[in-house]
Structure 1
Amino acid sequence: MADTIFRYPFRNFFLDHPPIFREYYGSTALLDWIESPTAHILKINVPGFKKDEIKVQIEEGNVLHLRGESLKKENHGKEIVWHIAERGNGKEDFSRMIELPVDVKLDKIKAHIENGVLTVIVPKDSSHKVRNINIGSRL
């Protein structure tokens, strides 16, 4: 709810919460976000998608947008009657938007897909380290 009231760029100023996640189309793309000392690693379940059906883009500065569009049209003929279709029987889309931290190298992001899992590696920018300032008695 708060995300609909406070829009970028004021969202992080007024709200102290982790980066935002936005889903569209009743997304079924489940996500794990792991942080190592050198990178953020995102693992997204995308079973049945091929790499050319998935787009990984950076939008609005530091928002990672993951999109998938699969055309799984199974032709079983006119004599087939569907009783239950829980796995989907047509076009299934997903879209996830993730606001990344500011200490990342956006130009070095890599992604690959294997066994129905899309892995996105977002390297950290090591130049954003804390720097101590010496305190003197006069300027």
Structure 2
Amino acid sequence: MTLIKYNPSLPNTENRSFSSLLDKFFNDSFNGVGKEMQHFAPQVDIAESKKSFEIAVAAPGMKKSDFNIDMKDGSITISGERKFEEKKEEKNFHSVETQYGSFSRTFHLPENIEEDNIEASYQDGILTIVIPKDEKKELKRTIQIK
């Protein structure tokens, strides 16, 4: 039997071997639940329409107050922390696959945005940031060939 280190980023996680499940169980037990929960990167979807850009951050289980959104030098930084709260019900966790910890994601924005009209909302575990475009600023330029 070959032990395969558990890797959640592998595309085919449906066909995990029994040994990989054992490996994950024992690694989590010996490493302690808190060690692997210091950092995570929530999944982000970015879309563009004619009037705006939209950033959607999947962060279920968090509150609005857990997020920070900062604009600086043409970049937007979304940061926050999802805390692991052990309840005092004397539960023994056998597996914890949910990611916990702090995160920070920075995205560089184009020049044709209206920084003063950016809006953010949080509903059903999705932080949505709408960044309107400034129609007066055109990014496309035609360069004449000499």
TM-score range, shorter chain: 0.5 to 0.7
Query: 1:11 aligns to what?
Result: none
Equivalences, count: 105
**Structure 2 segments unaligned to the other structure (5+ residues):** 1-37, 142-146
Which has more helix, going by share of residues? 2
Partner letter of residue 77 of structure 2?
A: H
Task: Find the residue that maps to 2:41 and give its secondary structure.
Answer: coil
**Structure 1 segments unaligned to the other structure (5+ residues):** 1-24, 133-139
**TM-score normalised by L of structure 1:** 0.66
Which has more strand, going by share of residues? 1
Query: 1:107 aligns to what?
Result: 116
8 Å CA contact 2:111, 2:139 repeated in 1: no
Percent of aligned pairs with the same amino acid: 26
8 Å CA contact 2:39, 2:101 repeated in 1: no
Alignment RMSD (CA, Å): 2.4
The CA distance in 2 between the partners of 1:130 and 1:99, in whole Å, is: 15
**TM-score normalised by L of structure 2:** 0.63
Task: Find the residue that maps to 1:65 and give its secondary structure.
Answer: strand
The CA distance in 2 between the partners of 1:36 and 1:64, in whole Å, is: 18
Task: Find the residue that maps to 1:52 and give its secondary structure.
Answer: helix
**Which of the pair has the greater relative contact order for Cα pairs under 8 Å at 6+ separation?**
1
Q: 1:119 offset after TM fit, Å?
A: 0.4
8 Å CA contact 1:28, 1:94 repeated in 2: yes
8 Å CA contact 1:106, 1:122 repeated in 2: yes
The CA distance in 2 between the partners of 1:129 and 1:101, in whole Å, is: 10
Partner letter of residue 135 of structure 2?
A: S
